[in-house]
Amino acid sequence: MTEGNFVDYVKVQVTSGNGGKGSVHLHREKYITKGGPDGGDGGRGGHVIVQGNSNLWTLVTFRFKKHFKAGHGAHGSKNRSSGADGEDVYLEVPLGTVVRDTESNETLFEITEHGEEKIVAQGGMGGRGNWHFKTSTNQTPRYAQPGISGEEHQITLELKVLADVGLVGFPNAGKSTLLSVVTSAKPKIADYEFTTLKPNLGIVEYRDYQSFVMADIPGIIEGAAEGKGLGHYFLRHIERNATLLFLIPADSNDIGKEYRILLDELRRYNPEMLDKQCILAISKSDMLDDELMAEMKQELDKELDIAYLFISSVAQKGIQELKDSLWKLLNE
């Protein structure tokens, strides 16, 4: 998937179908000149339904089509024949999609399971035919109900990536490089900040044919929780990850300080994120010799309250240990 095809935020217009009119009809056939009312009911208008699809990873299908209209219900007819229901329209979305009302920004529902269906615009009910209205004092009613009009809404679809492990770090910390080493994903890698502007997903193959999904989240900057940079667009993808892997390069000026800044940004955006399982990986550690690494361990043991390990994506150092640690956290 190219970066340009990753769409995680769209606004669309949805309109459900009108209900069909009930029929006003009096039964007539040979030898029966004054039969009773037999007008049928109108059909229901079509719904607009949001449906989860685990095979989708992006909202790119909504990039060029923004309006969705369901079919109208057919009118009732004689012999109590009901009109056909209007055709439903399905909006297939990836798992982790949040549906909001655009005007009020109210969250309507979230789609988290394959095949899960939620009606976002209810089709109008069909009107009742005149046979419903006959009474002992009004045996030939010449009226029926009109169908109810459908609904029209503008909704916002917002994707929060579903992954087992989310990579969290500052720009240029080596997240994309790690993802390219442990999975078959091919993220864009370059020596400048914000190379990654959209989340990348990859499947990490573990022992005995087991696997888990890792997401490379674009880099966080200080102030992201207040929306600085593209903070809100990046941070929302971290909400859905079961385990967080903090990544800080070994050549950082202050590893402990960077970790606390990252943690504080998550807390300010959503305090519940701090309840997730976390582990810290110190990347680019191939530039450290044994003596320098021992010194860093002494300082980190005093300063940090999180499990950490040293890795190097380029030198393939500590990668298997990292997979083992992540697998253990995911299965606790």
Q: What is the pLDDT of residue 1?
A: 41
For the beta sheet containing 67-69, the strands, ordered from the edge strand earlier in sequence to the opposite edge, are 67-69, 9-15, 152-159, 97-101, 107-111
Query: 16 and 47 in contact (C-beta within 8 Å)?
Result: yes
d(CA 329, CA 325): 6
If one compares 175 and 54, the residue with the highest pLDDT of the two is 54
Q: What is the pLDDT of residue 293?
A: 83
pTM, to two decimals: 0.68
Q: What is the pLDDT of residue 186?
A: 56
Q: What is the pLDDT of residue 220?
A: 62
With 0-12 / 13-18 / 19 or more C-beta atoms within 10 angstroms meaning exposed / middle / buried, residue 124 is: buried
The pLDDT confidence band at residue 231, using thresholds 50, 70 and 90, is very low
Is 197's pLDDT higher than 70?
no
Nearest to 76 by CA among 148, 143, 18, 25: 25
Q: Which range has the worst mean pLDDT, 160-174, 184-198, 255-269?
A: 184-198
Is 7's pLDDT higher than 50?
yes
Mean pLDDT computed over every residue of the chain: 82
Q: How many CB atoms lie within 10 A of CB 122?
A: 18
Q: What is the pLDDT of residue 219?
A: 60
Is 104's pLDDT higher than 60?
yes
Residue located via tokens 């009613």 = 141
Q: Is there a common fold for 1-159 and 165-330?
A: no
Is 212's pLDDT higher than 90?
no
pLDDT above 90: percentage of residues in the chain: 31
Is 146's pLDDT higher than 80?
yes
Nearest to 120 by CA among 158, 157, 74, 162: 157
If one compares 157 and 31, the residue with the highest pLDDT of the two is 157
The domain defined by 1-159 folds into Spo0b-associated Gtp-binding Protein; Chain: A, (2.70.210)
Query: 3 and 109 in contact (C-beta within 8 Å)?
Result: no
For the beta sheet containing 308-310, the strands, ordered from the edge strand earlier in sequence to the opposite edge, are 200-205, 211-216, 165-168, 243-249, 277-283, 308-310
Question: Which residue ranges make up each domain of the chain?
Answer: 1-159, 165-330
pLDDT above 70: percentage of residues in the chain: 87
Q: What is the pLDDT of residue 196?
A: 42
d(CA 11, CA 223): 26
Q: Quick one: CATH architecture of 165-330?
A: 3-Layer(aba) Sandwich (3.40)
